[in-house]
Amino acid sequence: MIEKLTVIAPGLLGASIGMAARQKGLAQTISVWARRPEIRETLSTLDWCDDAPESIDDACRDSSLIVLCAPVERIIDLAQTIAPGLENQPIVTDVGSVKSELCRKCSDALGDKARFIGSHPMAGSEKTGMDNATPNLFENATCFVTPLAESDSNAREIVSKFWKDIGSIVVEETPERHDALVANVSHLPHLVASCLARHLSQTLPDAARFCGNGLKDTTRIASGDPGMWRDIVTQNRAEIVRSLDAFQDELQALRADIANEDDFSILEKLADGKSFRDSLDA
């Protein structure tokens, strides 16, 4: 059991981590730091949170495991902020959805004050904030653990075990391989959904009058926070461009089949798409 778990920034993911850790008995003490006083006041009334101090240093003091749960563009700054007050080399991880630059800069910022191991639970939602948190958010969800080559092996094992204990299926990858993978399975789908939604808003503004559940399902993730997704794109630009280029080739090939009346190739592509989609639920 973790003696003290500290969650920094209790949004959807951070609060869900705290809830799950308490429900599963993974930590003796759960301390949570939030920037806004009203959130800290709310936290003090919740049974899964033992402590919600005003000072981030107090929240991290004597912690065994610290989880940085802020938006991806703030995680490096948080690592720099907490580093001076850390003692006894706690383990620090995060939930950021882009890993290459983040892992190296967080590791550098923490230096010998802590042992950093990157993480990325694939368990978000288009709904954000602590009010939407649930202890079951991570059940059977993939969680990437992304150590550097020089990362502490014991810290890596503890972080992996934490995510497994919280209900996730852990996949260990290098930060660079992680960014290439999520560009295709996470970032590309969101951008395609957003692009489709924007296209319809321009060409058919009253589409809601005519659409069924298919369009709603296809564009659901476009409801994600635009600012957060802009920051993800900024930090994973090269891999996202590669995934968009490959998808554009696929879309262009389908367009050519339709224009050339190649119905056999159209059917083949549709069947391949159905087969892949069905495999996701297997």
DSSP secondary structure, 265-277, as one string: HHHHHHHHHHHHH
The first and second tokens of residue 95, run together, are 């939930």
Pairing of strands 91-94, 118-121: unpaired
- Does residue 150 contact residue 176 with C-beta atoms inside 8 Å? no
How many domains, in total, are found in the chain? 2
pLDDT in tens, the chain (282 residues): 899 999 999 999 999 999 999 999 999 999 999 999 999 999 999 999 999 999 999 999 999 999 999 988 899 999 999 999 999 999 999 999 999 999 999 999 999 999 999 999 998 766 778 888 999 999 999 999 999 999 999 999 999 999 999 999 999 999 999 999 999 999 999 999 999 999 999 999 998 888 889 999 999 999 988 998 999 999 999 999 999 999 999 999 999 999 999 999 999 999 999 999 999 987
Task: Report d(CA 58, CA 52) in Å as an integer.
Answer: 9
Last residue of a domain, one of 130, 147, 173: 173
Task: Report d(CA 281, CA 32) in Å as an integer.
Answer: 35
142/203 same-domain check: no
Last residue of a domain, one of 173, 195, 211: 173
Query: Which pTM value belongs to this model?
Result: 0.88
The first and second tokens of residue 141, run together, are 């969800």
40/156 same-domain check: yes
List the domain range (segments joined by +) for residue 137.
2-173
166/199 same-domain check: no
CATH number where 14 lies: 3.40.50.720
SS3 94: strand
194/219 same-domain check: yes
Task: Report d(CA 4, CA 60) in Å as an integer.
Answer: 9
Last residue of a domain, one of 152, 173, 194: 173
225/130 same-domain check: no
